[in-house]
């Protein structure tokens, strides 16, 4: 649908786009993402020729856009920018109807289309048509922005961080609406964002850019499973990788600062430590932080004597797992051994964390919560 061939953009001596080859698929949401200055917005604006490439060619449906009239080209591509893009002196209806007006549609057809689009983005035409942008909330303004981009029913829609100025709740709502809208419209959407959550939520394909290069251009699942580049992995973030459960490791779900105590501590002290941290067990470690065993509140209360020390009562030979153990193995071990705690240790026995039933529920629960 949209093809970049060796596209380069230079401003004086600085090269901001360093040779991009891209094939953007029809009827998909393609996300351009990367840190600021990576060239994502420049790439987007080259599609409607707001920025002209220094070198290379861009094709839409096999036609070199450099050969097309830029005004005509832009009227056939929807364009949404951050919320300020609405014309403040025009009503909602005038804003939405602008491109059809420029295309000299008859008046009745424009009005009809405006009403249809307002309905589509969930705003009552009667109530909103004659309002001005300043009379709308941020979310409503951007809904109008989306409706305006759809006005002449373009094949392609470019969105330049359209939701970034909105508050988080409105943003999520609009992301959801855009996603649902797309299920019915099947537009070719190119969407610039710096928010990886937004990218994963909306993108059929995600193009990760850095310093004017495309690092990886893949479906979100592929990105999560096989980040092609150290930067991609870093950019997506470890936490995000957790969302693919087969990729979760013991170290991803463990509590990183478990409650621990030295074996020479008295039982009274151990009780204090547990109380202050609100837990019912304590891991026993030596001076080198090597795991020796575990003492539970029950063990302690069964043989309670203020003067006794932990070393006399704690359970040795605890089952532990390595940090890179897969989550499914960890759960298997916990089920088979019927234990509620699994300490995580390095090969040399050094304690790095603790997995408990509640930490598991926390992590897995968050995963489903975020998906919903």
| Nearest one of 31, 42, 38 to 207, comparing CA atoms | 31
Tell me whether residue 99 or residue 294 sits nearer to other proteins (CB atom).
99
Pairing of strands 156-160, 188-193: parallel
The binder of other proteins chosen from 13, 72, 287, 347 (CB under 8 A): 72
Based on the shown chain and the rule CB under 8 A, indicate whether residue 284 belongs to the binding site for other proteins: no
Interaction mask 17-46, other proteins, x per CB under 8 A: ----------------------------x-
Q: Are 204 and 27 in contact (CB under 8 A)?
A: no
Contacts of 65 (CB under 8 A, 6+ apart): 47, 49, 58, 59, 73
Based on the shown chain and the rule CB under 8 A, indicate whether residue 73 belongs to the binding site for other proteins: yes
340 CB neighbour count, 10 Å cutoff: 14
Based on the shown chain and the rule CB under 8 A, indicate whether residue 59 belongs to the binding site for other proteins: no
CB of 135 vs other proteins, minimal distance in Å? 6
CB of 124 vs other proteins, minimal distance in Å? 19
Interaction mask 86-115, other proteins, x per CB under 8 A: xxxxxx------xx--x-------------
Residue linked to tokens 């009667």 = 126
Only segment of 5-13, 52-60, 74-82, 104-112 that touches other proteins (CB under 8 A):
74-82
Binding to other proteins, residues 107-166 (CB under 8 A): 132-135, 148, 158
Based on the shown chain and the rule CB under 8 A, indicate whether residue 188 belongs to the binding site for other proteins: no
User: Three-state SS for 19?
Assistant: strand
What is the arrangement of strands in the sheet containing 188-193, beginning at the earlier edge strand?
A: 77-80, 156-160, 188-193, 29-33, 205-210, 213-218
Tell me whether residue 189 or residue 342 sits nearer to other proteins (CB atom).
189
- Number of residues engaging other proteins in binding (CB under 8 A): 29
| Nearest one of 216, 188, 84, 186 to 142, comparing CA atoms | 84
Based on the shown chain and the rule CB under 8 A, indicate whether residue 48 belongs to the binding site for other proteins: yes
Based on the shown chain and the rule CB under 8 A, indicate whether residue 50 belongs to the binding site for other proteins: yes
Say how far residue 220 (Cα) sits from the centre of its chain: 10
Only segment of 75-83, 220-228, 245-253, 345-353 that touches other proteins (CB under 8 A):
75-83
Tell me whether residue 92 or residue 261 sits nearer to other proteins (CB atom).
92
d(CA 136, CA 153): 24
d(CA 369, CA 371): 5
Residues that bind other proteins (CB under 8 A): 45, 48, 50, 71-76, 79, 81-82, 84-91, 98-99, 102, 132-135, 148, 158
């Amino acid at each position: 649908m949209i093809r970049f061939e060796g596209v380069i953009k230079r401003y004086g001596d600085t090269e901001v786009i360093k040779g991009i080859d891209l094939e953007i698929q029809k009827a998909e949401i393609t996300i351009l993402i990367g840190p600021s200055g990576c060239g994502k917005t420049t790439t987007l604006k080259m599609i409607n020729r707001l920025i002209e490439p220094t070198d290379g060619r861009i094709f839409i449906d096999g036609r070199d856009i450099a050969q097309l009239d830029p005004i005509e080209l832009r009227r056939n591509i929807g364009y949404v920018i951050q919320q300020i893009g609405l014309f403040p002196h025009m009503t909602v209806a005038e804003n939405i109807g602008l491109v059809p007006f420029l295309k000299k549609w008859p008046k009745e057809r424009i009005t009809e289309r405006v009403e249809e689009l307002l309905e589509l983005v969930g705003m009552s035409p009667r109530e909103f048509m004659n309002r001005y942008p300043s009379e709308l909330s941020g979310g409503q303004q951007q809904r109008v922005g989306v409706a305006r981009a759809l006005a002449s029913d373009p094949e392609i829609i470019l969105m330049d961080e359209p939701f970034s100025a909105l508050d988080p709740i409105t943003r999520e709502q609009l992301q959801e609406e855009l996603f649902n809208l797309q299920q019915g419209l099947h537009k070719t959407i190119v969407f610039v964002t710096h928010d990886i959550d937004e990218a994963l939520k909306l993108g059929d394909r995600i193009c990760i850019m850095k310093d004017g290069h495309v690092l990886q251009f893949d479906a979100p699942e592929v990105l999560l499973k096989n980040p092609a580049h150290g930067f991609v992995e870093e950019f997506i973030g470890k936490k995000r990788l957790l969302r693919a459960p087969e990729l979760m490791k013991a170290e991803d779900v463990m509590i990183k600062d478990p409650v621990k105590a030295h074996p020479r501590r008295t039982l009274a002290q151990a009780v204090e430590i547990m109380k202050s941290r609100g837990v019912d067990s304590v891991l026993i470690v030596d001076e080198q932080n090597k795991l020796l065993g575990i003492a539970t509140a029950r063990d302690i209360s069964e043989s309670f004597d203020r003067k006794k020390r932990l070393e006399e009562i704690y359970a040795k030979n605890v089952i532990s797992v390595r940090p890179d153990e897969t989550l499914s193995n960890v759960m298997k071990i916990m089920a088979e051994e019927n234990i509620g705690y699994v300490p995580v240790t390095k090969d040399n026995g050094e304690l790095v964390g603790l997995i408990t039933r509640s930490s598991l529920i926390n992590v897995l629960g968050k995963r489903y919560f975020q998906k919903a």
